Structure 1
Amino acid sequence: MSAANADAPSVVATIKPIHSIAAAVMEGVGEPEIIIDGAASPHGFALKPSQAALIQGADVVFWVGPSLSASLAKPIEAIAADAVEVELMDAKGIDLLPYREGANFDAHDHDHDDHEEHADHDDHDHEKHEEHAEHDHDEHDHEKHADHDDHDHEKHEEHAEHDHDEHDHEKHADHDEHDHEEHAGHSDHEGHDHAGGMDPHIWLNPDNGIAIAAAMAETLSEVDPDNAATYRENAAAFAERIEALEGDLAETLAPAKGKNFVVFHDAYHYFEHHFDTEASGAITLTPETVASASRVAEIKDQMSDLNVTCVFQEPQFDAKLVDVVLEGTDARKGTLDPLGTELENGPDLYPNLLTSMSQSLADCLSGQS
């Protein structure tokens, strides 16, 4: 990559994959800075003074949003007050998916119709969201939300008022506007709020990666109009590269089709869904919290019932829990890294990340690891 132009905007990205996409879009103009580098996890991240200084001096800050990095929400708001802050979960063209609940991902989570029911993010199905938001008391609503013999009026008022409890329908939300308050609701939980919230690991869908690049190009073109043509050309070249790569990824993943596997935490839904290779469950939903004994037992039962082939650990977190889950089974252990921890930063990291994940899945599930 060329050295940064003295007149290039100061751009900060929070995590390695987002930094990589920004580097691809900025190539030939400048280089973005990164906040969460190496093996650091965005979940519960503690900002250092040097990193705060990067944010303070930024013209543009690209981040996924508080549902991934809750600890950065206040610093970005406070010390990047003069910067253009882009929350990429809100970006145009981003296909959002809901979190899956429980240790075992139910069969309906694998069904494409169910994803359309939760959120048809291509068409932004307003009728379904309005059904959740307004809770119309028609026959369909009675079937979906309430058996009036079992649920009292207080619960209906709870839904109608959108209280912030485990049935927080505000988190199912209007995905056209991607309400900032919806995402801010995650911040109380240092990363993940699974009560109906949307999964923030958006970059693991290659189509979302392309949408992120396009959003970055438009933002940078507004901030730095002299280089607008370069940003847009770079985003178009990035899109072509990723679209060409997708065929290779699908071919690599072919041996993984129909094989059951368990992931460390529910970080891969976008990748799995895009390539129709879905996990059977996750050891933990919140990586900062140690899974309970009952959850581990539930996963082990699931592994036995479904003849799980592989359990995937992550380099950001202790693998001891994975070893406990594997004990007494014939399943293999693999590694999936959603951040590209060991990959070199730069425009090549993002495609290399997708390639590495595909190969890791295929190797473990086909018995080559």
Structure 2
Amino acid sequence: MGGVGPIMSEIISERCKIECPALFKFKKACPFYLAIQKLSNHSIRNSCIEKNQCYTITSNIITFLEPALRPFSRPSSANSRASVLKSCTALAAFSLVMTPLAAAQADSPTVVTSIKPVHSLVSAVMQGVGEPTLLIDGANSPHGYALKPSQAGALQDADIVFWIGEDLAPSLKKPIDTLSTKATVVELMDTKGISHLDFREGATFEAHDHGDEDHDGHDHNHEKHTDHKHDDHDHDHEKHTDHKHDDHDHDDEKYAEHKHDDHGHDHGGKDPHIWLNPDNGKAMLKTISATLSEADPNNAALYQKNADAMSTALDNLSAEIEGSMKNLENTGFIVFHDAYHHFEHRYDVEAAGAITLSPETAPSADRVTEIRATISEIGARCVFSEPQFEPKIVATVIEGTGAKTATLDPLGANLANGPDLYPQLIANLAKSLKDCLASSS
């Protein structure tokens, strides 16, 4: 069994030594079956781009394995030595097929990501090779997230860290700097090709105009704790001790001391919620693919193929959204905080204001009064809350105005992690806007 994967070899050897008795219900209780099912599901899911294809292949493999596994679910008296050997032969053959995938995953870079949308994009590019680790999961907000001690090891072991940047998750700056000392740290806010937008002024965005778009032309920087440099990708690898971005001002202050200016963030006045424009998502896919390919050239072709497939899917999704939102250009709505500028700009809709300057800070009484007056003045149809924050303030804002409330989720808090999350997140934003605004017309 020299070619059999170590996991499979161990399972096969253990099961072939003894004739296991019946273990309750075959599919649910037999650890042998479950181990094989877990291995096949994991490997096959990571090797498929199309979800339906993944399920089909996995189902076929499990169907193929059942006859081989069935003898182990019966009483020992029913097991013959021949059937056991036949089962082992079938499983060994299966393991030979799965071993290359397992080996590819074992050799892949150890990757850590900050938020769910970034994790989704990286997962899409890494399909068939490996899976990244996610730091900020569930409904946690990146703005004030406190890294758990149990997550320190992930940053220490990382070969690559992908995050938006300090202006979205200021509390991650110090842990990344101090723990990921051997990692290539990619700040996606600096990705080449990103469309940057300014934060809008005031509760009702009175100083905003659409002329604030800035297509970033500078090469994305990879912070590297070594002097490693590659000329093939236009990446600048810098030591963290020397790390400096001339175009962006970063402070090393802790989040507890982080002060919000009139824009609520400090990235040269630029909105860090860049992933909410799928065109920015496509730019990030290029950077992710290039970074992974540089670290793992053996899988470069697969990384590129996966990135291209996701990019095409995002183009198709954007075309659908454009068609569905054609008549919503002049409909007024209020958002919880100014996180959606990139989405609005991409699909030609525009919020009339934001309830709070910073999602971690309750709005002042004057701001609430101003927002309520704006709702009445422009006839705003919807006021949107977010799953990451307490919705009571939204109820206070809309009381007596006639406006409806709905939810916009910029992070995919309730979506399953993985490649499908990012496009589903974008689609859900469009649907939430359309459903609330259209129903109020």
* TM-score, structure 2 as length reference: 0.67
Pick aligned residue for 1:89 from 166, 189, 201: 189
State the Cα distance separating 1:231 from its structure 2 match: 0.8
Unpaired segments ≥5 residues, structure 2: 1-44, 47-100, 219-243
Aligned partner of 1:33 in structure 2 is: 133
Aligned partner of 1:281 in structure 2 is: 353
State the Cα distance separating 1:95 from its structure 2 match: 0.9
State the Cα distance separating 1:61 from its structure 2 match: 0.3
Aligned partner of 1:311 in structure 2 is: 383
Distance 1:196 1:90 in 2: 12
CA contact (8 A) 1:282 1:299 kept: yes
Superposed CA RMSD in Å reads 2.1
CA contact (8 A) 2:111 2:132 kept: yes
Distance 1:245 1:364 in 2: 20
3-state DSSP of counterpart to 1:264: strand
3-state DSSP of counterpart to 1:13: strand
Pick aligned residue for 2:249 from 173, 182, 186: 182
User: What percentage of residue pairs aligned between the two structures are identical?
Assistant: 53
CA contact (8 A) 1:101 1:194 kept: no
Distance 1:350 1:195, change over 3 A: closer
Aligned partner of 1:121 in structure 2 is: 215
Aligned AA (2:184) = V
Distance 1:185 1:93, change over 3 A: farther
Matches within 5 A, 1:147-226: 179=246, 181-184=248-251, 189=258, 192-193=264-265, 197-226=269-298
Aligned AA (1:285) = L
- Which structure has more relative contact order (CA 8 Å, sep 6+)? It is 1
Aligned partner of 1:57 in structure 2 is: 157
State the Cα distance separating 1:184 from its structure 2 match: 3.8
Matches within 5 A, 1:1-369: 1-2=45-46, 5-106=105-206, 109=208, 111-112=209-210, 114-115=211-212, 119-121=213-215, 179=246, 181-184=248-251, 189=258, 192-193=264-265, 197-367=269-439
Distance 1:320 1:258 in 2: 27
Aligned AA (2:274) = I
> C-alpha deviations, 1:188-233, integer Å up to 9, x for none?
5278426951110000011000000100000111111111111111
Distance 1:254 1:281 in 2: 21
3-state DSSP of counterpart to 1:6: helix
Aligned AA (2:120) = S
Distance 1:123 1:54 in 2: 32
Aligned AA (2:292) = L
Aligned partner of 1:161 in structure 2 is: none
45-54 or 20-29, which deviates more: 45-54
Query: Which structure 1 residue ranges, 4+ long, deviate > 6 Å from structure 2?
Result: none
State the Cα distance separating 1:258 from its structure 2 match: 1.3
State the Cα distance separating 1:105 from its structure 2 match: 1.2
3-state DSSP of counterpart to 1:297: helix
State the Cα distance separating 1:16 from its structure 2 match: 0.3
3-state DSSP of counterpart to 1:182: coil
Distance 1:358 1:17, change over 3 A: same
3-state DSSP of counterpart to 2:384: strand
Distance 1:321 1:32 in 2: 36
3-state DSSP of counterpart to 1:61: strand
3-state DSSP of counterpart to 1:66: coil
State the Cα distance separating 1:179 from its structure 2 match: 3.2
Aligned AA (2:313) = R
CA contact (8 A) 1:60 1:86 kept: yes
Distance 1:219 1:321, change over 3 A: same
CA contact (8 A) 1:334 1:360 kept: yes
> C-alpha deviations, 1:87-121, integer Å up to 9, x for none?
00011111111101100012x62x43x22xxx532
Distance 1:73 1:252 in 2: 39
CA contact (8 A) 1:90 1:178 kept: no
Distance 2:427 2:178 in 1: 37
Distance 1:195 1:20 in 2: 24
Distance 1:339 1:214, change over 3 A: same
Distance 1:190 1:8, change over 3 A: farther
3-state DSSP of counterpart to 1:215: helix
Distance 1:232 1:207, change over 3 A: same
178-187 or 285-294, which deviates more: 178-187
> C-alpha deviations, 1:50-87, integer Å up to 9, x for none?
21111111110000000000000000000001010000
CA contact (8 A) 2:285 2:307 kept: yes
Distance 1:196 1:280 in 2: 23
> C-alpha deviations, 1:106-156, integer Å up to 9, x for none?
2x62x43x22xxx532678xxxxxxxxxxxxxxxxxxxxxxxxxxxxxxxx
3-state DSSP of counterpart to 2:154: helix
Aligned AA (2:277) = N
CA contact (8 A) 1:98 1:198 kept: yes
Distance 2:159 2:269 in 1: 30
Aligned AA (2:368) = V
> C-alpha deviations, 1:334-355, integer Å up to 9, x for none?
1000000011110010000000
CA contact (8 A) 1:309 1:331 kept: yes
CA contact (8 A) 2:167 2:266 kept: no
Rg: which structure is higher? 2
